[in-house]
A = this chain, B = another copy of it.
Amino acid sequence: MFSFEEIRKAEERIRPYIVKTPLVRLVNLDPYLHCEVYAKLENLQLTGAFKLRGALNKILSLSEEQLKKGVVCASSGNHGKALAYSAKKLGIPATVVIPTTAAPIKVEAIKALGAEVVQCDVTERFRVAEEVCAEKGAVLVPPYNDELVMAGQGTAGLEIAEQQPDLDAVIVPVSGGGLIGGVSEAIKNAAPGMKVYGAEPAVLPRYSASLAAGERVQVPAVKTVADALVSNMPGEKCFPVVQKNVDQVFDVAEEYVLKGMKLLLTEGKIFAEPSSCIGIGAVLQGLVPVEEGQKICFLISGGSAALSQIRQLEEVQIP
């Protein structure tokens, strides 16, 4: 069911509700990354992240009957915000299941968008979301492991291929694999000469381990500064797409994620969450085969960072 054609359909479906985010040239990063630097700014997307594309495509594919009963997800982050925003925009009920450990500011942001919030222990969140669905007859909107969600997220790749068709490579942050699955399918069809690389936290190497093993591997669940990239196993619907399309996935050290965030902010003048800066970290760490003169685009996936997180960057050294 997932295909390039589905991404094209998703693009038409969600177009009235999203921003075609800018793809900008960041010339002041060139001396640090030794290539021609571009960035696709999904942190300028409505709700501040690419997640809106997937949630909207799923929701806009539901029947009238389903829409009336509403949508549900388990997320305290960008996906929860995207679901709440989409539901408000379409005038349908939404429930977001949030761990009791989530920051109160995130809970308030989702409530402010009109969604019902159910709080529970972090280990219970997926079970509770299923329960809410059963009770209300509502539809669960997964954050990545869903063909329609992946197709929606892939529309960012369609835009990249259209906005800058002469790119040599795009580097995408990787967690469960929805974004890189969708984006790689879009790019390998719309601009086949462009390489697609992934960047994941070295402490959570779920994709490099799975690609090496030839099957999905679960890695230990640990913390990372890239706090939006915490899946510890590839999504089963995402893995074969990544396996087919993606040229390489790089495992980035924690300190290089922060170096990437600092460089993007101080020289690139773009404020993004640590997870979004992992691709820049990969190049700073010397992992990516880039050459002078090559046009490399970093997909900046979201901007959910607090000002107070910038303090930790003051002491970070670049490179």
CB pair B19–A41 under 8 Å, yes or no, is: no
CB under 8 Å from chain B, chain A span 284-308: 303, 307-308
CB pair B307–A314 under 8 Å, yes or no, is: yes
Chain A, residues 48-65, CB within 8 Å of chain B (1/0): the string is: 100000000000000000
CB pair A28–B41 under 8 Å, yes or no, is: no
A291 vs chain B, min Cβ distance (A): 21
Q: Is A272 an interface residue (CB 8 A)?
A: yes
CB under 8 Å from chain B, chain A span 229-277: 262, 265-266, 268-272
Q: Is A22 an interface residue (CB 8 A)?
A: yes
* Chain B CB within 10 A, most for which of A25, A44, A308: A44
Known contacts A19-B27, A22-B22, A22-B24; A307 and B44 CB within 8 A of each other: no
Contact of A271 among B27, B271, B314 (CB under 8 A): B271
In angstroms, Cα B41 to Cα A313, docked, is 23
Q: Which residue of B lies closest to A26 (CB)?
A: B44
A56 vs chain B, min Cβ distance (A): 15
A25 / chain B contacts, CB cutoff of 8 Å: 19, 22, 44
A122 / chain B contacts, CB cutoff of 8 Å: none
CB pair A41–B24 under 8 Å, yes or no, is: yes
A262 / chain B contacts, CB cutoff of 8 Å: 307
A23 vs chain B, min Cβ distance (A): 9
CB pair A46–B19 under 8 Å, yes or no, is: no
In angstroms, Cα B272 to Cα A254, docked, is 27
CB under 8 Å from chain B, chain A span 170-197: none
Q: Is A103 an interface residue (CB 8 A)?
A: no
Q: Which 6 A-B pairs have the closest CB atoms?
A: A22-B24, A269-B303, A269-B271, A43-B269, A310-B310, A19-B27
A positions within 8 Å CB-CB of B = 19, 22, 24-28, 41, 43-44, 46, 48, 262, 265-266, 268-272, 303, 307-308, 310-311, 313-314
Known: A270-B270, A271-B271. 8 other contacts (CB 8 A): A24-B24, A28-B44, A41-B269, A265-B271, A265-B307, A269-B303, A270-B271, A311-B311
